[in-house]
Structure 1
Amino acid sequence: MNRRPVVAAALLWAAGYVLAYNVQLDWLSLYVSLFTGIAAIGIWFMRMPGRTVMCSFLIIVIAAGYYEDYDRHNKTKLSIFVQAAEEQKEIPYEVEGLITTKVDVDGDKASFTVRSDSDEDELIAVSVKLLSKKEQDIALTWQRGDQVGLKGALQLPGEARNFGGFDYRSFLRFKHIHWQLLVKGADQVKLAQSNRWTWDTVMRWNDQFREMLGEGIGRVFPGNQTGFMKSMLIGVTDDMDPLQFQQFSQLGLTHILAVSGLNVAIFLACLLWVMRRLRFTRETYLLTAISLMPFYIAVTGASPSIIRAGLMAMIALYAAYRHTLRDGLHTVLLVGLGMLIWEPYFMLDVSFQLSFLVTIGLIIGVPPVNSLLPIHSTVWKNAVSITLVAQCISFPVSIYYFNQFSLLSFLANFFLVPVFSMVTMPGGTAALILGFAYVPAGKVVAWLIAWINSRIFDLVDMSSRWDWFQTIWPTPDIGWIICYYASWTAIVWFLLQIKRKKNVKQGPMLSLDQSRKSSHEMRIPNAASIVGLPICILSLLLLLAIAYKPELWNREGKVDFIDVGQGDSIIITPPHSREVILVDGGGTISFRKPGDEWKQRKDPYEVGRKLLVPLLKKRGIQRIDYLIVTHQDADHIGGLQAVIEQIPVNKLIFNGTFKPGPGAEKLFQTALDKQVKLVKAYAGDRLQANSETILHVLAPVARDGAGELRLEKEQNAESVVFMMEMSGSRWLFTGDMDQASEAAVLRMFETNRNQITIPNFTAQAYSTSTAPISLRTAAAAATANIDVLKIAHHGSKTSTGTAWLDFWKPRMAVISVGLYNSYGHPNPQVLGRLEERDMSILRTDRNGEVQMRVRDGKIQIRTKLKRNDD
């Protein structure tokens, strides 16, 4: 702490924030920080024994109190509406204020943030539903800094409805926004004249300048590369192709698509090179570069990573100007400390975390790794060490937030980043500048850059399709991340000790005294290295194994009813098993009429890509062994397209029919392309997932010609219905079956109990055996009461009849249904029938995700949301 006070202070300050964020300590406040600071100063200057340790602890307390006070004051001033909003009541609200963000117009939606003019000075996220193409054109004229009057419905932002899901309410809160205002129609937005000069006015000019640059990029680059170049050069990601972003993400190349320290370095290198060629003096070009950095930060979007890189560059340039260059570690941590004091919530921003961790890792790690690499070329040695250190440092953060890592990431970064940094970025910038002077000249340079980009895109596309190189990791805990970094640190330290010992042995002859001293100094580290290095390597490997398969020895069975809105999706994990069964995948139903093309959004919400796949990855589901498609309606299969594209699937089990339409066609074609085995399921079939989990298929009934694929537009009555036995518990999964199908299943049990035989599901699909199995097994199982019934068709009145309930006698019912759905689900009559039988009722619209854990026949339940009426 004495030798590197800035480094120590920054790390201790960050530790204080982490403490305050994770531990609720009511006694922390700004006053506590103030008095603690005075005490720390007194202890330090009085030179008390142990002052370093005591002051370190006090700095942590000071930072924790500062964060706690900052967070405590981050609350809404419209508290009178909170109770009504929590009761999900619509709150009519009118507000006048200033638009404080760029207005994003995407299809039939315009969104922005308003700061109210009233005494509350509240920040409100506004979403305007546009009702016509004319209204869309009007919304395109709205800008940051406009004075507006709004009428709409005030509501709390949506909270996470699944365990580990994205929490929009927390996301907005960390931006100091506590409310959403939903406005229907552009006529509810009234613009007023404002002659006030504010910071938002300056930012509007910046928005206009960035828009001008974006148009310049669009003029010289082909349309299919405009979004990519906008993202890379000026940080505008609105036009980025979602599929292309996903491909870059899978290879660990998303940092290329975000303006960061690499862009700052290239910008400064090009700027200084030009000014030197123009024979500017050293002082002039350094001061010019410093003065242009704030402008560059603003133009490129001012993300935490670009702010960090820009401030570091300004400090380094000023130090060079004053001939007082300091080491990089002090600079980066000084910048980080300043940013955290200015905005404590930066600590929770992934770009801030990655930017600082990688930068600190490169500063500390590259020199020792360079000394260990057996490469003679300085250029290649630096390239390998920088890529290696960056990969190792960013790995825990990447799997923590994104839950995936490509085994090709090192090669992709090693070979492609230099191309983007030395060719695409400077070449693209040159094409943009030339395009403003003379468009044909800009297009010539852009054509060459676009050709190089196209070759890289082809390579990225091909590499992203190699599923065997993609690994999925569950979210690790903070303790694991600390142990990971500690293991790598110890490994590098031991390797350095071993190398230092070898250098001593191979060096020039030493005097007797020097030899004795060297032998005494090196004997202990070398002996420790012989034992310690293998232990550290084994520890690191063990840590990776634990992170990759944390629940390998879990004895519990799991059934998770995911909240996918108005749809079904259920994850089943049998006990003592690594197998995973996914039943349906939800889906977004879209109704579009001819002429509504203007409503199409650039990146529309899709349940599979935005919700289901991230949840599966976050839970470490690396492979789906059985994907059961109960039927092919959009609210059950829509999300499965993204699942099959991003997560390996072994077998897809469906009802033996095909529903004409692009959704089902694309899903089955993708499954065939991915070599997923398609298996038809009929009543009487059985799937034994493991010794404690058996699935008995009860519907649909096989028809004549069951081997042929049959077209069926109406899918509800064809739902795959199965009863599952797991560790002494019984479950019934019903898809969207109607009461007629329920009656048919009950009749089948009665009339065909001892007559019909159907091939064994397991044998037919997965082995050469053809031993038949009768419906007697399923019927015998059906006579027993069941523990959990998945209510069919989201609680529609067309399903869950009295005879069905009386036959199964379930103890609990789960209804997968969307919040505020337009169908009126669940139907009051169905709820009445369940309540009459004194059943426990769980609903995803009220409870969010419902998780059930099974062990020795006992079921434990937890729900994501807790409601007063439950």
Structure 2
Amino acid sequence: MLQNRPLVAAGLLWTCGYAAAYWFPASWLNLYVSLGCGLLITVLWSLRHPLVYYVCSLLLVLAAAGYFHETELHNITSVPAEWAEREITAEGTIISPVEVDGDKASFTFKGFIRSDGQVADEEAGEERYQVNVKLLEKTEQAVAGSWQRGDTIQLQGTLRKPPQAANFGGFDYRDYLRKQRIHWLLQVKGSGQAEVTPPGGWSLIHVLRWNDAFRSYLASAAEKVFPASQSGFMKSMLIGLTDDMDPEQFRQFSKLGLSHILAISGLNVAIYVACCLWIMRRIGLTREKSLLFCMALLPLYILATGASPSIVRAGIMGMIALYAAYRHLLKDGLHSVMLAALLMLLWDPYYLFDVSFQLSFLVTIGLILGVPALNRLLPIRRTSLRDALSITVMSQLVSFPLSILYFNQLSLASLLANLLLVPVFSMAVMPAGTVALLIGTVWEQGGGWIGWAVGKLNDGIFIVVGWLSGWDGLQTIWPTPSLLWIVLYYTVFTLLMSGLLRSLALSQNDVIPVLGARNPILQWAVPVIAAVSFIMLLWGEYDQERWRQGGDVQFINVGQGDSILIRTPVTSARVLVDGGGTVTFRKPGDEWKERSDPYEVGRKLLVPLLKQRGVQRLDYVIMTHEDADHCGGLQAVLEEIPVTALLFNGTLKPGKMVEKLFETALQKDVKLIAVHAGQQLPLDNRTTLHFLYPQGRPDPSIGIEKNQNDKSVVFRMEMDGTQWLFTGDMEKTAEQELLASGAEAINNGGKPAETLSASPAGGSPAADFPAIDVLKVAHHGSKTSTTEAWLDAWKPKSAVISAGERNVYGHPHAQVVERLENRGIAVYRTDRNGEIQMKVEAGNIRYRVKREKPD
């Protein structure tokens, strides 16, 4: 392959070298190794011996590994670790656009920091920091909004380490920033803590500053040209500004696999180049000059649209294609793709880990190689229809592994949605929207006329998207695949396509019917085996539960709140206990603090984690009570994941949040079950839930209850010979009431949870309570619960406290922790350990935590 397509092979080998250095770092890898390998390749390549190509391939991988590792060696901070949480003074330059959203302004800063007169990184040079400014007054929005890239800034704030992933498979913000060469956060309270002055003189950053202003100008024009409800959508599609995109609209597009429409990509570049060439030919420029001018203008377009990896890739490929056309060279799509990839990876090796980069290049390569092959296999004579179907199907098949790797979902309506809507966007919405925006910059009314027509077309598209995305039955959830599975997928898929093409070619050459010719069974053996293997791969990945042994209890870190995922050992039934929630305190007049897409635990953390773990259905959701930090995240769960039944405490806490939750449950046909003491719920023949609280209610109607803690659902779980106690936010009064009911009431089996029954009476002494292996400590370790009598009755071996880092409530309370430790109870805390997972097999519990030590 190095002989026939050296650039393509070089791109693949260079990528392999980066990956090898990332997963298997070695201290001896450095830039000198990379340069030495490059020199050896130059010398050996002239020998033209067959073995030389294999040696050069290995050397190229080694050279790439050395180059990547050198990048890693220099991507470090010179700020001492002990400076974390210090108050510091920083001086430097704003090097990114300033984003103002509600009560937060954020930007990247490059400069020096000092604490107590000591400069942290003077010898190492300036360093990058992510700055988050907490705006205290509404007037500060305008102040922060006036800051620009290139401004000189001095500020005071708190230095913090970016948080690492707190859950297994969770988003690692620290690693995300590290790949942008940022190692610290600066937390600033109020714009008054910053002194900003415009830059003096001239530097390269002025170009980016002017580009930011130009993009803002285009954004303002878009707001005037397009309907107010669609300006965010059109800004995302045309100039890559996603800040004002409606989050719900974006989710609908994402569910249907249409998010690529909202990203600036090759289609935008093609339209831009076509418009430029048409204009230049109309003003009388020659073909050669038109091509050269387009090449010169493409970098400006890349900057104006945000320079995301997908647009950079498309722009570089466009310039390569324009140059090839100018020089009348034979165009090779694969060479163009690989040259663009190599240039980007040499510029910044961390592009390799960017989702946009991966999808953009993978789909482009897949279309170049796969569409002609699929066209030969499809029995469709109409060229335009066949091409459209081939492009859509091949895009779906090629992007599928990465789609489930990063998003864990696939709508079966995605193919139909792409076939129906992509042509409308590419041939109507995008070209007409571009024309409307360009005209609107010089003639607002004229652009508005075209923008109005585009808006009407978009209205119809949004109706179709909303209708298709509402088909919950077509939405499939896939667990995160392994790297091995992804490699096998592409290998088997390639064998399937090549086998089908070969068998089709043999059939068309009429070699089969001839007596004594090749056996037709053998002819189709490869594609049939590949097809069966392909189906087995998909089935095995989708239904991973059949390969898992034992039960699981996962205490998910949702910050200041509770969320526990239970999987039973026999039937793999799934039970979610609470869903965490984002607690916000807003006074009248604080509406300006609301953000365009506020952080919500259920949608941003819990649901993605459940999907990653292959939770395609929840058999039961137990809402212990209706406080926001326990039930707030369940709204997103009910909307995104099928749920069979919702168990709750039989009360209603007045408020829009809880009312909306129950309304959603009814709309989704989720069975609502009010549980109380004396009931039990068998999940499989080795797992049973025994409900202990609240006490049985003679009145079956739903009661109004504002104070929910002492109405928490409390239950004991028996799983494969182990005992667990889940307590919600119960407090001292509820503990005493439950202890007073006696061991008989606790040990007695009740009726199934679907029926309401009175709690059995009992008065056995507390000494007869079953010993508990794991206690979920009530109310995040508050001093109002987990009394000494409670611990003495249950005698837990281990305890789990779910609390948020640096929470304002001071949870867990030192007295509670002391009580647990004095009794020799092993204590696990989500605020220090992150997620806590427990594996149950044959009466044994194995523990693992995300963090062994507090960060």
> Which range, TM-score by smaller chain?
over 0.9
Q: Which amino acid is the alignment partner of residue 846 of structure 1?
A: R
Q: Matched residues in 2 for 1:716 and 1:295: separation?
A: 59
Q: CA deviation at 1:185?
A: 1.2
Give the C-alpha shift of residue 278 in structure 1: 4.3
**Quick one: distance in 1 between partners of 2:829 and 2:609?**
19
Q: Is 2:785 the partner of 1:784?
A: no
Deviation at 1:594, TM superposition (A): 1.0
RMSD: 2.1
CA deviations over 1:54-80 (Å, ceiling 9, x no partner): 1111111111111111111100121x2
The equivalent of 2:564 in structure 1 is 570
Equivalences for residues 222-261 of structure 1 within 5 A: 222-261=227-266
Find the aligned partners of 1:20 and 1:439 in 2 and give their Cα distance. Answer: 53
Distance apart, 1:115 and its partner CA: 0.6
Mapped to 2, the partners of 1:297 and 1:393 lie a distance apart of: 26
Q: Aligned pairs, how many?
A: 844
Query: Gaps spanning 5+ residues in structure 1: where?
Result: 510-514
Distance in 1 between the 2:789 and 2:211 partners? Answer: 67
**Aligned-residue offset at 1:434:** 2.3
Contact 1:684 1:778 in 2 (8 A): no
The match for 1:371 is 376
- The CA deviation string for residues 195-250 of structure 1, in whole angstroms up to 9 with x for no partner, is 13222211111111001101101001111101000000000000001111000000
Residue 16 (structure 1) aligns with: 17
Aligned counterpart for 2:752 among listed residues 731, 739, 761: 761
Match of 1:660 among 650, 654, 663: 654
**1:303-382 equivalent positions in 2, closer than 5 A:** 303-382=308-387
Matches within 5 A, 1:256-271: 256-271=261-276
Q: Which residues of 2 match residues 459-858 of structure 1 at below 5 A?
A: 459-505=464-510, 523=518, 528-705=522-699, 707-749=700-742, 760-762=751-753, 764=755, 774=760, 783-858=769-844
Contact 1:681 1:761 in 2 (8 A): no
Report deviation, 1:137: 1.7
Q: Pick from 412, 415, 418: which aligns with 2:417? A: 412
The amino acid across from 2:640 in the alignment is Q
Q: Does structure 2 conserve the Cα–Cα contact (< 8 Å) formed by 1:753 and 1:775?
A: no
Q: Distance in 2 between matches of 1:751 and 1:17?
A: 63
Indicate the SS of the match to 1:105.
Answer: strand
1:94 to 83, 89, 92: 89
**Percent of aligned pairs with the same residue?**
53
Equivalent residue number for residue 118 of structure 2? none
Residues 411 and 752 of structure 1, relative CA distance in 2, 3 Å threshold: closer
Q: 1:780 to 1:374 in 2, by over 3 A?
A: farther
Structure 2 SS opposite 1:223:
coil
Aligned partners of 2:90 and 2:154 also within 8 Å: yes
Kept in 2, the 8 Å contact 1:473–1:618? The answer is yes
Aligned to 2:456: 451
Alignment-derived partner of residue 205 in structure 2: 200
Aligned to 2:42: 41
For each residue in 1:84-128, what CA deviation from the matched residue of structure 2 results, as whole angstroms up to 9, or x when unmatched? 53xxxx211111100000000111111001110555310010011
Offset at residue 47 of structure 1 (A) = 4.2
Distance across 1 between alignment mates of 2:768 and 2:418 = 57
Task: State the one-letter code of the partner of 2:799.
Answer: A
Query: Does the residue aligned with 1:578 lie in a helix, a strand or coil?
Result: coil
Cα distance in structure 1, aligned partners of 2:378 and 2:458 = 32
Q: Is the 8 Å Cα contact of residues 554 and 576 (structure 1) preserved in structure 2? A: no
**CA distance in 1 between partners of 2:209 and 2:44 (Å):** 49
**Partner amino acid for 1:6?**
L
Note the C-alpha offset of 1:753: 7.8
Mapped to 1, the partners of 2:149 and 2:743 lie a distance apart of 70
Separation in 2, partners of 1:752, 1:5? 76
CA 1:864/1:209 → structure 2, altered by over 3 Å: closer, same or farther? same
Query: Does 2:180 correspond to 1:175?
Result: yes
Partner of 2:116: none
Could you tell me how far apart the structure 1 residues matched to 2:375 and 2:717 are?
Answer: 57
1:500-522 C-alpha deviation (Å, 9 max, x unpaired): 11221199x9xxxxx99xx98xx
Cα drift, residue 24 of structure 1: 2.4
User: What secondary structure, in the 3-state scheme, does the structure 2 residue paired with 1:501 have?
Assistant: helix
With the length of structure 1 as denominator, give the TM-score of the two structures.
Answer: 0.94
SS in structure 2 of the partner of residue 505 of structure 1 = coil
Alignment match, 1:385: 390
Partners of 1:242 and 1:722 lie apart in 2 by: 37
- C-alpha distance in 1, partners of 2:193/2:684? 59
| Deviation of the 1:488 alpha carbon | 1.2
Contact 1:553 1:576 in 2 (8 A): no
Three-state SS of the structure 1 residue aligned to 2:201 is coil
Measured in 2, the distance between the counterparts of 1:167 and 1:632 equals 30
Runs of 5+ unmatched residues, structure 2:
113-121
Q: Distance in 1 between matches of 2:764 and 2:73?
A: 58
Counterpart residue identity of residue 755, structure 2: Q
- Please point out which of 375, 384, 394 is paired with 2:399: 394
Equivalent residue of 1:689, what SS?
strand
User: Equivalents in 1 of 2:733, 2:321: separation in Å?
Assistant: 76
Give the Cα separation in 2 of the matches to 1:341 and 1:559: 45
Counterparts of 1:753 and 1:235, CA distance in 2: 59
Inter-partner Cα distance in structure 1 for 2:711 and 2:679: 15
CA distance in 2, matches of 1:48, 1:714: 82
The 3-state SS of whatever aligns with 2:544 is coil
Indicate yes or no: 2:57 matched with 1:71: no
Deviations 1:277-324 (A, max 9, x none): 445321222122111111110000000110000010011011101111
- Residue type at the aligned position of 2:821: E
Structure 2 letter corresponding to 1:562: I
Corresponding residue for residue 131 of structure 2: 126
Assess if the C-alpha contact under 8 Å between 2:833 and 2:854 holds in 1: no
Q: What residue number does 2:426 align with?
A: 421
Q: Once the 2 structures are TM-superposed, how far is the Cα of residue 776 of structure 1 from its aligned partner?
A: 7.0
Q: CA deviation at 1:868?
A: 6.8
Separation in 1, partners of 2:172, 2:746: 50
Secondary structure of the structure 2 residue equivalent to 1:195: coil
Match of 1:512 in 2: none
Query: 2:103 aligned with 1:108, yes or no?
Result: yes
Structure 1 residues 145-160: aligned runs within 5 Å: 145-160=150-165
Deviates further, 273-282 or 318-327: 273-282
Displacement after TM superposition at 1:35 (Å): 2.2
Partners of 2:523 and 2:82 in 1: how far apart?
62
8 A Cα contact 1:788 1:813, kept in partner? yes
- 2:624 aligns to what SS in structure 1? coil
Say if 1:696 and 1:778, in contact at 8 Å, map to a contact too: no
C-alpha displacement at 1:36, in angstroms? 2.4
Structure 1 CA distance, aligned partners of 2:12 and 2:521? 32
Q: Using a 3 Å threshold, how does the CA distance of structure 1 residues 711 and 482 change in structure 2: closer, same or farther?
A: same
